[in-house]
Amino acid sequence: MDLLRVLTDSADNHHYQLNIFHGQRNACFTQRGLAHQVPTITQPAVTLERGEGFDIIHTFNLVPLRPRVRFIVTFEDVAPRIWDDPRHGKIRESLVRRLASRHCIRLVAMSQYAVRVFERQHSKDTRFGVLKGKICQIYPSIHDVQPQLNLPIKHTLRLLFVGRDFMRKGLPAVTRTHAGLLALGIPVHTTVVSSLNWLGDEYIAPCDDYDLESERNLLNQPGIEHIPSASHNEVLTLMSQAHFTLLPTLHDTFGYSVIESLACGTPVIATATCAMPELIEEGINGFLIPLCVDGHFLEWQGMQYRQEPNYYDYYRTTIDELSTRLVERLSQFWETRADYSRLRDGAANVFETRFSPLHARRKLEELYEESMYSA
């Protein structure tokens, strides 16, 4: 059996581990740091690769520019990853031309949400039909996780939050939820794994006059354990020990922590935004918390007020609403916690049926088989 020689980025890239390296039996990988990146206003969007010894390039969010080289791009929302901006019009046009060319074999969307965003990005382009015809959708997956059966919930509700960009991912709602549960007399232990990363120009979280120190101080409540940094395996262990992973995010292109938690057999409570409704089935493997989103893209409507003077108040109001809904959901669950084993079974089953690495491997093998015979 001939093996397709696939060039990818280094194996320690987390995105590649979850989206590309699934043990394809018809491929051999050359892993190399894909440098020579052209910066944009968002993140590196282009890679220039020189050298031989491969048949195709498979990248994540990056568009290879080397002439006459066939490639596959896996993307999380927009592709190319450059926003519409007059300053970058020529760069964007060059990248879109590459994606529409015969050298681009497939565009692999991480989710149906990614498909919708991609179509919005290119809907007015004359090449829209060509670009849309290249899209397929393959969910990320995670390998070598053995679910551990938690003890029944008897005395303490154990919650987990994992997220570096804590303001965007909703940690303020989690700390307020912890306080609300304590006020109701529910014994709760919340573990927070976050470096508390703060970017003043972050596209969701408010900046300027926002009292960041008060948010950090909420981590000092009784029953909250803050872990600034943990390895991937340590995070998976914490997930296996938690009763719920919480992700009340205001925007996430996918939310890897959700499928990682499901792989551990731990149900998830997250906001009903972006790709979350594709990952979580209400009452089966977790719960979805309502968020004010538009009807098609499921994106938080507050994003449109990011540059408005009242965005600070809009953000705080949304956080308060999310914490109220989380308290209601978790307090309701606490009353019927004897059914928790059903949620754990549902988490493991949804992972196996929808996010198993075997499914991802099969779909990627089909793409690679197609690549072998494409011109």
- Cα 189 versus chain centre, distance: 25
Compute the distance between CA of residue 225 and CA of residue 20 in angstroms, rounded to an integer. Answer: 34
Phi-psi region of 98 (alpha: psi -120 to 50; beta: other; left: phi over 0): alpha
> What is the pTM (predicted TM-score) of this model?
0.91
What Å distances lie between residue 254 and 10, 133, 362, CA to CA? 21, 22, 21
Class of 4-141+356-373 per CATH? Answer: alpha beta
Compute the distance between CA of residue 64 and CA of residue 77 in angstroms, rounded to an integer. Answer: 18
Compute the distance between CA of residue 355 and CA of residue 353 in angstroms, rounded to an integer. Answer: 6
- Pairing between β-strand 104-109 and β-strand 157-162 as defined by DSSP bridges: unpaired
With 0-12 / 13-18 / 19 or more C-beta atoms within 10 angstroms meaning exposed / middle / buried, residue 253 is middle
Compute the distance between CA of residue 250 and CA of residue 323 in angstroms, rounded to an integer. Answer: 13
Q: How many CB atoms lie within 10 A of CB 65?
A: 16
Single-letter amino acid, residue 156 = T
Compute the distance between CA of residue 163 and CA of residue 348 in angstroms, rounded to an integer. Answer: 22
With 0-12 / 13-18 / 19 or more C-beta atoms within 10 angstroms meaning exposed / middle / buried, residue 123 is exposed
Phi, psi of 279 (to 5 degrees): -100, -30
Phi-psi region of 12 (alpha: psi -120 to 50; beta: other; left: phi over 0): alpha
Report the pLDDT value the prediction gives residue 11, as an integer from 0 to 100.
Answer: 65
Report the pLDDT value the prediction gives residue 83, as an integer from 0 to 100.
Answer: 67
Which ranges in the chain belong to alpha helices (H)?
14-19, 89-100, 112-122, 128-133, 171-183, 212-217, 232-241, 256-263, 276-279, 311-335, 340-354, 357-373
Q: How many CB atoms lie within 10 A of CB 320?
A: 13
In the three-class reduction of DSSP (H, G, I as helix; E, B as strand; rest coil), residue 13 is classed as: coil
With 0-12 / 13-18 / 19 or more C-beta atoms within 10 angstroms meaning exposed / middle / buried, residue 112 is middle
Report the pLDDT value the prediction gives residue 212, as an integer from 0 to 100.
Answer: 74
With a cut of 50, list the residues of the chain below it in pLDDT.
Answer: 36, 41, 43-45
- Pairing between β-strand 4-8 and β-strand 27-31 as defined by DSSP bridges: parallel
Tell me the CB-side half-sphere exposure of residue 322, using CA atoms within 13 A: 31
SS (H, E, C) 101-152: CCCEEEEEECCHHHHHHHHHHHCCCCCHHHHHHCEEECCCCCCCCCCCCCCC
Report the pLDDT value the prediction gives residue 368, as an integer from 0 to 100.
Answer: 95
CATH superfamily of 157-354: Glycogen Phosphorylase B; (3.40.50.2000)
Compute the distance between CA of residue 305 and CA of residue 314 in angstroms, rounded to an integer. Answer: 8
pLDDT per residue over 231-264, tens digit each?
A: 999 999 999 999 999 999 999 999 999 999 999 9
Specify whether the CB–CB gap between 280 and 355 falls below 8 A. no
